Structure 1
């Protein structure tokens, strides 16, 4: 029987590439996005998150085999916090009961190598506490100043990576036989990144901050292939891993600091 996969952010970028790749491999894919998807839902708020869960439940018949929480924004606004962090958690926790009927359930989300860049300790702490109103308020403060606005995205992705590390080995995930992992892309040529890499000067400047010595800026399919393996039946033992698909950014920026 074909596997049933749920892909959020399926209308563009990494989500679209993942959806297409899984479909080419014969999987039944339920896409979730604000447009052009089987389930149209806005993950920035509670109503949209509830609609996503109910829509997937209806279309899947109550059982899915893999969940790919890919939907995200990179704007220096509170909406990024709402979608990238709380939307991802709502996706994974909301659909976790539907994974229980699968013989090989898998869950994957998209973080970022931006988690290695400077962040805001207060926002990270509020996200770790899963205090959405306070986290959105803090992001609103950060968004008002040019010197802090860039901390919103990196803080959100850092908290997301920490969430995976802390939850993956728990009874709800590993204890239930569900590998929970994440990928952390470098610079990917998606519509979300288009404004940052539209000129040679912009690309050079960004690659100075995010070094990618192996083949440079990547296409979305590169990340999709990693996601597909993590969410596939072959992955039986990776647990709580943040897999950097970043052309070497992690190796350059952190070296052997974590070993």
Structure 2
């Protein structure tokens, strides 16, 4: 692989509650998954994140989630397909307005948290998310875990499916993410993470939490913006990949 995208979850501060350092992480990543106000973020903070992304030359994507501010979007909501589709479309419209005011547009969609993990296998919610993206009308690429039901539905709907890997998360042997409720779900060792991502870019594999090697065909790598040390982690991953001859470049 001669190039790969680095993305990060940003725009998640809410009022006096600060989450991450968006402007700083933009020095390392090529794509920004900007919160849309349902799992995190407020209008002024999201708008500033969009302006910072444009200033840094970083692509803006919509980080849509369940309507769950209190739970940071990490709880499954048993809503109807219509309600979920309407919620996703609403979020896309809100972020597009703020991105456009900053001089850009939404270029892709990445679901967040529980919604992301749910539509790996949940047929109804996966279809609702894809229906909303199609209704938005821009044929936006969809960024998700390899093998997701929603990625297959995206391709069937004529949307570009983009598989991603997580730099700072542990994986189960079946290729799913270790639940944040479990120990060692999040990785904090920059050297280990960087080594893992060089392996990913080199041969498309990762080590699962049990030490087994799993196939992970990914066009993008996520470094979470809300974890401690995320700015340094993103810089280390970028430096490591570039030293291995892999260019950091958006997939769009």
Query: How high is the TM-score relative to the length of structure 1?
Result: 0.35
TM-score (norm 2): 0.36
Identify, as 1 or 2, the structure richer in helix. 1
Q: Write 1 or 2 for the structure with the bigger share of strand.
A: 2
